[in-house]
Structure 1
Amino acid sequence: MDDFYKRYCELCANKGMSASGVASAIGLSNAAANGWKKGKLPNDTTLAKLSAYFGVTVEYLKGEETKKDPAGTGEVGSAKKALINLIVDLDEEQCRKLRSIIEEAVNLL
């Protein structure tokens, strides 16, 4: 079992949900969870949705970091989680515009 699927199952259990139940909750078929069990990895959009659903980073889901967040609190802060949820639903053009706005704001700081 790969790092992603281990963490996915752990996070599902923490929510009291089955692997297929969580997939369904974010709008995917039960087959998606079966594919992950067999070693397939979700695409970037799905990883972002799962990250927002569980309140963890994509890197944590993929097994690239051991902590769920940089502060070590176990969750992404509520403001960040809300922002992630909004971003997941944007199309590519909206993402480009938002990135430009954020980059300008960061440069002003």
Structure 2
Amino acid sequence: MGNGVFASRIRKLRMDRGLTMERLSKDVKVSRSAVAMWESNGTVPRDDLLIKLSKYFGVSIDYLLGNEKMEDKGPESERLQYIQRSLGKLDETRLEKAEQMLSVMFDDIFDDEEGTDDI
């Protein structure tokens, strides 16, 4: 038995970000048919993939599984989603260049993020 909430949330998150099933499958390193099964049957993936999906979409595992509602974060969230959709359309080479440019422009922010791994 599948999880209909999981299916609809994965589909909505993917579509809200302008991602194809193919792109999502490549980004999280699964087959396209796995993504299709998540969205059509509500097949819940292994724990390691749930963690990867929650990080990828910036939501909790509880949200993905239907145990909590996602708060609307307003315009700031919409702006971040726009940026994420745009970056999702880049090929790997351009994505790496974008990341390099951002890290140069905002090195103080990127340095702070790297330091959190030590905690």
Q: Please, what TM-score do these two structures have when normalized by structure 2?
A: 0.54
1:1-109 equivalences under 5 Å are: 2-36=4-38, 37-68=40-71, 73=73
1:33 is displaced (CA, Å) by: 1.1
Q: Please, what TM-score do these two structures have when normalized by structure 1?
A: 0.58
Match of 1:106 in 2: none
CA contact (8 A) 2:9 2:64 kept: yes
Residue 3 of structure 1 aligns with an amino acid whose one-letter code is V
Give the Cα separation in 1 of the matches to 2:62 and 2:22. Answer: 21
Q: Give the number of the structure whose residues are more often helix, by fraction.
A: 2
What are the ranges of 5 or more consecutive residues in structure 2 without an aligned counterpart? 78-112
- Provide, for residues 13-57 of structure 1, a one-character-per-residue CA deviation record: whole Å limited to 9, x for no partner: 111002342122111111111221223111111010000000000
Taking only aligned residues, the RMSD between alpha carbons, in angstroms, comes to 2.7
Identical-residue share of aligned pairs (%): 32
